[in-house]
Amino acid sequence: MIFAAGLGTRLRPYTDDRPKAMVEVDGLPMIAHQLLRLREAGFRRVVINVHHYASQIIDYVTANDGFGLDVAFSDESGQLLDTGGGIRKALPLFDADSPVLIHNVDIFSNADLAALYRSHQESKADATLLVSQRNTSRYLVFDDAWRLVAWKNIQTGEVRTAYEELEQALTPLGADTEQHRLRAFAGIHVIAPSLFPALQSAEEVFSITNFYWQHAADYSIRGEEAPTDFRWVDAGKPEALPRAAEIAKLITHNS
């Protein structure tokens, strides 16, 4: 599934007359880059959620025959549902027996998507989140077995966790310890069908990141650390577009 429903407010003025997914990077709209990446990784069916200027995405992908993929659209034109709500609405479009890889449309990286998907299947986890050592203010906190235990804002000290007994211990956490690791979420993750019922029973609009830490005590939510040669950028701001183009060229050259 490709998250393409966002308003793209950080990308203005580019998104004044188009959705973020249709903003060009290295001569192609973002949505084209992501569909081609998924096709090269061996995926065959993709769901795209749409909201802002939804018809532009639908018309473009349809005109290009889905870039060789079986593409379905989850239309959120009536209401933007956030990341978790977007997955919840799209559940009927998924294969009920197969894990689903989720990818933000504005994330450009050299991640091995096929390897992440295989690793998730082999782990038998309920969700696998691609993470890396990257400077940010908001981190996911994992234990020494790479199980998610909390979300942490190191600027404010705020901790969100389903493990009440950990909250006090994690509040001063600002760096890795023997027991806990702070990692940045890459916006690429895989969910197993075992999570579908919990997603279905959630409220209509919610963040998938909040869902993960809220359910960490009841499900196996694991982190997968990206390799040392990991290249990544969130192309959600104009100043990030040149870096996204560099990564896009690197991926094209290596594929």
pLDDT tens per residue, range 151-171 = 999 889 899 999 988 888 788
The answer to whether residue 253 scores a pLDDT higher than 60 is no
Instruction: Give residue limits of the domains in the chain.
Output: 1-107+238-255, 111-230
Q: Would you state the CATH architecture of domain 1-107+238-255? A: Alpha-Beta Complex (3.90)
Whether the bond into 238 is cis, omega within 30 of 0:
no
**Distance separating alpha carbons of residues 187 and 232, to the nearest angstrom:** 10
Cβ neighbors of 165 (< 8 A, separation 6 or more) are: none
Cβ neighbors of 15 (< 8 A, separation 6 or more) are: 7, 8, 9, 23, 52
- Cα end-to-end distance, the chain, whole Å: 21
Name the average pLDDT for the chain: 93
| Residue at token pair 């038998």 | 124
Which helix (H) or strand (E) covers residue 2, if one does?
strand 2-3
Q: Is the pTM of this model over 0.75?
A: yes
Q: How far is CA 56 from CA 21, 59, 130, 133, 232, in A?
A: 9, 5, 30, 36, 26
Contact 35, 113 (CB under 8 A): no
pLDDT band at 121 (very low <50, low <70, confident <90, very high): very high
- Cβ neighbourhood burial of 80 (10 Å; 0-12, 13-18, 19+): middle
The answer to whether residue 254 scores a pLDDT higher than 70 is no
**Distance separating alpha carbons of residues 63 and 149, to the nearest angstrom:** 44
Structure tokens at 224: 């997968």
Q: What residue spans of 124-173 are helical by DSSP H?
A: 164-170
Question: What pLDDT shows up at residue 171?
Answer: 82
Closest alpha carbon to 102 in 129, 125, 124: 129
**Per-residue pLDDT reduced to its tens digit, 25-40:** 999 999 999 999 999 9
Average pLDDT over residues 44-64: 96
